[in-house]
Amino acid sequence: MKKIVECVPNFSEGRDRDVINAIADAISKTEGCTLLDVDPGKSTHRTVYTFVGDPESVIEGALAAARVAFKRIDMRKHKGEHPRFGAMDVCPFIPVAGVTMEECAKIAKKFAQRAAEALNVPFFLYEEAAEHEYRRKLPDVRKGEYEALEERLKDPKWKPDFGPASFVPTWGATATGARMFLIAYNVNILGTSNQAHRIALNLREAGRGEDEPGRMKDVKGMGWFVDEYNMAQVTVNLNNYHVTAIHELFESVKEEAAALNVGVAGSEIVGIVPLESLIMAADYYIEKENLFIYEEDQKVRLAIERLGLNSVAPFNPKEKVIEYIVAEPPDEPLASLSVRGFIEEIAARTSAPGGGSASAAMAAIGTGLGSMVAKLTYGVRKFENVDAHMRKHIPLLHDLTQKLIPMIDADTSAFNEYMEGLRMPRGTDEEKAERHAKMQAGLKTAINVPLTTMRLADAAWDALCEVARYGNPASKSDVQVGAKALETGIWGAYQNVLINMEDVEDEAYKSEILKESEAIEKRAREKCSEVLSLLG
């Protein structure tokens, strides 16, 4: 999975368009970064930037922005309504896809170290990157704001995590850290702002005060009336959608509104949202309503409909979901060919693509045929008695097919690491040792690709047996072809494991991999026979 990190730096400049644009340009021109949003505020004298990229790119983007701010912002002249203590006031890093919170904490620390060294200014770590519990919360780190910073830096307790413990008047200080994705979410109320606010008070974590906390954790909120919608809204920030999810907030607002005899008319997401949060909502409604939906785009559509996200403005997933905004076409030149083109590539006078890619393609065809027959059986009136079986196995066969397709191209590039080692210099004993180690590691990489194909294909057998047992009899030959294709794909991948294993010197590794691959190949023969016998 592609690693995506969101970075949301806040700069203490919300009025000078030249400065705002210069910072935006620095981010957008950083390779690997996609600038998603620029939100300046005149009264707060602050601009919030939102951009995404891979871990290394977001660090470079944040550094580029900090360099511009260092040259263009002078904190001695800054006044605004929003709390602040630095030119780049805060710079959080947020995991979006393929990245853990721990990784984002390391990203924040790496950014702080590099920025502090480059600019010679103080940086504090907060939230999940904090190394002291008393520095975890941003208000504690920023207490007293810019005006109190000079004296505060003299206190050893508030020595910066990176950079000098001295006051830099033009810059101040910066807090950087890692936190969960914050979702700005509004639920539409067909009532008054007072009623919306009553609901918000009942739900937000702070509630009505310490003696009367709200129902939902990590939620900030209030009620207001939006003239352009002619509706009230419960407007909230979901600080951690793993703690309180979008659908949980929406359903709770519906409960509170019903108690007040007030109608709910959908909701809206302000800004962008992680795909996972919508899939979580879809899974909730799928379970609640006993629906059968397994494809991602249909899950997203279900979430949009159940949450009423089109109620005040069209919700276009391609413009609102982070993963879709930054999506790039898959690097699958072989899998993207026509069937004719793929076969002609195999037939060409080149060593790749070869048997490994062909094996992955055959395995994918095998699971694909099983998936097809299961889908053709499900929902047909005369086969309703086997719907439960099809519901169970369709998602697995569909998913395995999608995972096997990329293995067609993965096999062709499997020897890249080995070839890199082969080209390494070997003039000295040290160079020879490094070259040898690289080549041995490359062989293991080359083995892992067909082994992965085997593992994925092997996971389909039980489902394929069930399709043979309960599937539409008119599709008997399709299941038969699927079983033989799956068996052949596994056998072909097994041969690739064996041929690449010959030069591996790690005997323990060889023994372990051979034992596993032999078991998968044997099971393929047995399971293929079982499928064929079930079909008669």
Q: Which residues are catalytic?
A: 82, 411
DSSP annotation of 74: -
Please name the residue ranges forming H helices in 378-502. 387-404, 407-412, 416-422, 429-458, 461-470, 476-501
- For residue 100, give the 3-state DSSP assignment: coil
- For residue 478, give the 3-state DSSP assignment: helix
The per-residue DSSP string of 70-113 comes to HHH--GGG---SS--SBSEEEEEEEEEES--HHHHHHHHHHHHH
Find, among 230, 289, 229, 234, the residue nearest to 260 by Cα: 234
Query: Which residues, 6 or more positions from 342, have their beta carbon under 8 angstroms from its beta carbon?
Result: 334, 335, 353, 361, 408
Alpha carbons 131 and 129: distance in angstroms, whole number: 6
In this structure, are residues 56 and 76 in contact, taking their beta carbons and an 8 Å threshold?
Answer: no
What count of other Cβ atoms lies within 10 Å of the Cβ of residue 469?
Answer: 14
What count of other Cβ atoms lies within 10 Å of the Cβ of residue 376?
Answer: 17
What count of other Cβ atoms lies within 10 Å of the Cβ of residue 107?
Answer: 25
Alpha carbons 527 and 487: distance in angstroms, whole number: 8
DSSP annotation of 182: P
Find, among 159, 173, 161, the residue nearest to 110 by Cα: 161
| Per-residue tokens: 147 | 């005006």
Find, among 184, 227, 170, 224, the residue nearest to 200 by Cα: 224
- For residue 226, give the 3-state DSSP assignment: strand
The burial class, CB within 10 Å (0-12 / 13-18 / 19+), for 267 is buried
